[in-house]
Amino acid sequence: MTDQQLQTLVEELSLRYFKRAFVHRAYFNRRLKTTGGRYLLTSHDVEINEKMLTEHGEATLIGTIKHELCHYHLHLTGQGYRHRDQDFKQLLRQVGGLRYAPASTKNYRYTYSCQNCGQKYQRQRRIDINRFVCSRCHGKLRLLKKI
């Protein structure tokens, strides 16, 4: 999906679910890692994490867009647009948007386990097992798997 197709989708969803036009920009931001999308307060643009579509599918992408459109329309109408506001929670329930973005899959290269309690740790970077200990029982760690 291109940025232009995303723009068209956001405009259609805005009209269908919110009965208001979306007149700003919507685009993919490939640098977003831990969030599904972002509504920018100053420019009123909407950024969407590309992984919402590639890893989780179109239904998750639509739920994320609805979430960001809730921020957008509530902010422009002067109502509570933050996650903690009742206006936001109520509108999100009405349109069926996602409250939280699903966690993206990470490529863990190292798997460690505690020698005492068996707690597992997955890491992208190698850690010094002589320096770090188990967070649960303070036991020694050992490397199980390196990819």
**DSSP sequence for 51-88:** HHHHTT-HHHHHHHHHHHHHHHHHHHTTS--STTSHHH
Phi first, then psi, for residue 132 (nearest 5°) are -100, 150
H/E stretch holding 89 reads: helix 86-95
What residue numbers does the annotated binding site cover? 67, 71
Residue of 11, 55, 58, 68 marked active site:
68
CA gap 2, 50 in Å, rounded:
10
How many other β-carbons are positioned within 10 Å of the β-carbon of residue 53? 17
68 included as an active-site residue: yes
What residue numbers does the annotated binding site for Zn(2+) cover? 67, 71
**Known catalytic residues?**
68
